[in-house]
Amino acid sequence: MKLDWNDIDSVLLDMDGTLLDRHFDDHFWLEHVPRTYARKNKLPLGRAKEQLYALFRSQENTLNWTDLDYWSSRLGLDIPLLKREVDHLIAVHPHVTDFLLFLRRNGKAVHLVTNAHGKTLDLKLRKTRLGPYFDGIVSAHDLGLPKEDGRFWERLRKKAPFDPARTMLGEDSETNLSTAQAYGIRYLFYVSRSSSALPPSPSSRFISLHYFSQLIPPAGSLEIDLQRDCSVPNKLIAEVRT
């Protein structure tokens, strides 16, 4: 597949796992919170994990999933404070700033579009200093729907206008790419290396990238041959295009 950047005006980028290393979030929710919860409630760590993982799963695909105030009150813990305790793990994926600079240089409208809660966003933008690279930053909490809900994209479009046929979305969630695809967003890329602590896992449905540098064309060109740079079988690229 040839990607011609002349065909794209708007770029929507997810935050956690896409631009930032998901290792922070995994460590926070799967280790740090259960450890603190176990200590506070005098539970063995295994029991605490069992209870919390079930609780987390019960809120999957809802805004509660990322709502720090919800989890603070549900678990009786100060979740924003706990996040700050491990904020040294917040990290930008390799080549992300190069990609954001490329987009700015070429006049693309770039929006950070995240399910993350405002308090998480504040902490992460403070730590990573990525804020100035974006024309706008939209939290799903401001729109009242998570990206997993197909109606999200129409609401987003009212706040940050884009032409779906000339828009690119980068995500580490196949579910969110699917709702965007159903809405008509044309250029969809799956980030297969969402956490530095896990092996990359390519999507079977969307073109997968290890790094956004794979979308930066050689100097002097705005076209890129994804077949060369993405380790995706030709058959799959053909399917994605149709």
Cα–Cα dist 126/222, whole Å: 32
Q: Is 14 in the site for Mg ion (CB under 5 A)?
A: yes
Of 26 and 172, the one with the shorter C-beta distance to Mg ion is 172
Task: Please count the other Cβ atoms lying within 10 Å of the Cβ belonging to residue 193.
Answer: 20
State the catalytic residue, choosing from 7, 69, 135, 149. 7
Question: Is residue 137 within a helix (H) or strand (E), and if so which, with residue range?
Answer: strand 136-139
- Give min distance, CB of 18 to Mg ion, in A: 5
CA distance to 25, 82, 129, 156, per residue, from 116 (Å): 11, 16, 16, 15
CB 15 to Mg ion: min, Å: 7
**Catalytic residue flag (residue 98):** no
Residue 36 or 120 with smaller CB distance to Mg ion:
120
Here's the x/- map for Mg ion, 163-202, by CB under 5 A: it reads as: ---------x------------------------------
- Smaller CB separation from Mg ion, 36 or 66: 66
C-alpha gyration radius of the chain: 18
* Token couple for 112: 């950070």
Hey, which residues are catalytic here?
A: 7
Q: Which residues bind Mg ion (CB under 5 A)?
A: 14, 16-17, 172
